[in-house]
Structure 1
Amino acid sequence: MTANPTKKPIFTARPASPSRLADGVSDAIAAALFDGRISPGEPLPPEGEIAKEFGVSKPIAREALRQLTTAGLIFTQQGKVARAKALSGEPMERIYGYAVRSSLKRLQEANEMRRVIESGIARLAAERRDPSGLEVMKQAIADMRASLHEPAAFTEADILFHLGLALTTGNVMIRVQMEGLRSVQREVSELFSRRANRTDADWRATIDRHQQVYEAIVTGNAALAEEKIKAHFDAADIASLEVADKLADKEA
């Protein structure tokens, strides 16, 4: 990559199989992104330097960068070098969004997936109790209370709460997964807003369930945190079925 022989190379891995050169190059660059050798916003070397570093052709280097762009790990502009992106759940969020908008069955499956995932997250959050995540959860509950009967604002507060839940684990990959699930949360909330009979008590009960999850985590009670998040999903499942039945009748 450089004429300076003392400079430490950014990429430490090398493609293992000649038949999958682009995959090997993209894996090595991704490793540099994940372990911090390339920071978000930092430019990657030009295609020619990448090709020289790995001993491959420019088209192979270009394909490796294309793979990383598709994965959401870098962004490119015409005529400019690629730059690293901050790790986020954006690619998964798009995929989940397409899925849950495709059919009620996919939406119900996504809810089931959230229940499985977030039960474990709540338990780990209670064990770790990262202060930054706890603060986000606390703020989200305050935002919920301030946005009663305002579906759009309430939805954003709800999404923020679950992001805070992930942040409280201190686990970057869990945070990314929760970001990916935002499209599922948003779709569910929009369905709930179609419920003409959603009362003030229903809104407040939703807030109370979030408050109970938060309190269990703050006190470090992992079993209770898992129990409360499951109770939250039980209540959400009842509402989901109510909405789903109405929508299914319209589709029939």
Structure 2
Amino acid sequence: MNEIFSRIEHSRTADDVVGQVEMLILEGVVRVGDRLPGERELARQFDVSRPIVRDALKALEARGLVVTRPGGGTHVADVIGEVFAPPVMDLIGQNRKAAADYLEYRREVEGIAAELAARRATGDDRALLSAIMRRMEDAHARGDFEDEVAIDVEFHNAIGECAHNIVLLHTLRSCYRLLADGVFLSRSLIYAAPAAQDVLLAQHRAIYDAVVAGEPVRARQAARDHIDYVERAMNEAERSGEWQRVSRLRLRQRGGATAASA
């Protein structure tokens, strides 16, 4: 990890260290699972003694913000957690209205995030987005489906970071955890068709272009258009799957399975 901690100028207490780490977690600079530098390196960056760093790490662990793994260092804890309890996730994962509500929620929230990102993105934010966009286009060109799907979520997370709103950032991360876990829909259903992959890449590029150009209205609309397409593609994929299932059963019922496979 690059040096992201700043020298503590005044009292140099464990509370000062804790406060700085807390803000880095809140601002999304360090994320779930990120490993913090070792005790000695932290002491150097903060310019405090190692006992102060040790006390700060204990306090952070007691607050549930970091976890220490024997022999594995100190990592940012899962501060996002599960949005819903597992039984509720099972229920909503099987409910079509819940899936529609999820996309409706994403449409509005991602529109706001893209608009704010276009207004607030810094030069460094734009550089980060550019790197992600290049990786997405490279994965698309290579036909690396799994990599492109993973970068999809990373891209949307980055847009949320560029909005520079702490509550929005963590709300979106919770939202994308549901997406990554496939609670509401399987991204593989949408990405299965090459034509859909081309459209999705173009839509991500449209969001990116608007944010980088600093055009908030266009950015918001591009984000909303993207979710509208995802919803249509998901519904079409589900319909196609259901049609295939019914037609297979019909063929089997009418004694055509043997003939079809001959």
Question: TM-score with structure 2 length normalisation?
Answer: 0.59
Alignment partner for residue 22 of structure 2, among 26, 34, 37?
Answer: 34
The letter for the 2-side match of 1:193 is S
Question: How many residue pairs get matched?
Answer: 201
Runs of at least 5 residues in structure 2 that lack an aligned partner in the other structure: 1-9, 25-29, 31-35, 38-52, 246-262
Q: Is 1:43 matched up with 2:54? A: yes
Q: Identity over aligned residues, as a percent?
A: 14
* Superposition pairs of residues 13-162 of structure 1, within 5 angstroms: 34-35=22-23, 42-44=53-55, 65=62, 68-69=63-64, 73-76=65-68, 86=76, 90-92=78-80, 94-95=82-83, 98=86, 102=91, 103-105=93-95, 106-148=98-140, 149-162=143-156
For the aligned residue pairs, the C-alpha RMSD in angstroms reads 4.1
Q: Which moved more, 1:111-120 or 1:205-214?
A: 111-120
How far apart are 1:158 and its partner, in Å? 0.7
Shift of the 44–212 alpha-carbon distance from structure 1 to 2, 3 Å rule, reads: same
Shift of the 221–188 alpha-carbon distance from structure 1 to 2, 3 Å rule, reads: farther
* Superposition pairs of residues 2-21 of structure 1, within 5 angstroms: 10=14
How far apart are 1:211 and its partner, in Å? 0.9
SS at match of 2:164: coil
How far apart are 1:138 and its partner, in Å? 2.1
Shift of the 226–96 alpha-carbon distance from structure 1 to 2, 3 Å rule, reads: farther
Question: TM-score with structure 1 length normalisation?
Answer: 0.61
How far apart are 1:96 and its partner, in Å? 5.9
Runs of at least 5 residues in structure 1 that lack an aligned partner in the other structure: 1-5, 13-28, 51-63
Match of 2:203 in 1: 209
Q: Is 1:164 matched up with 2:151? A: no
Match of 2:186 in 1: 191
The letter for the 2-side match of 1:136 is L
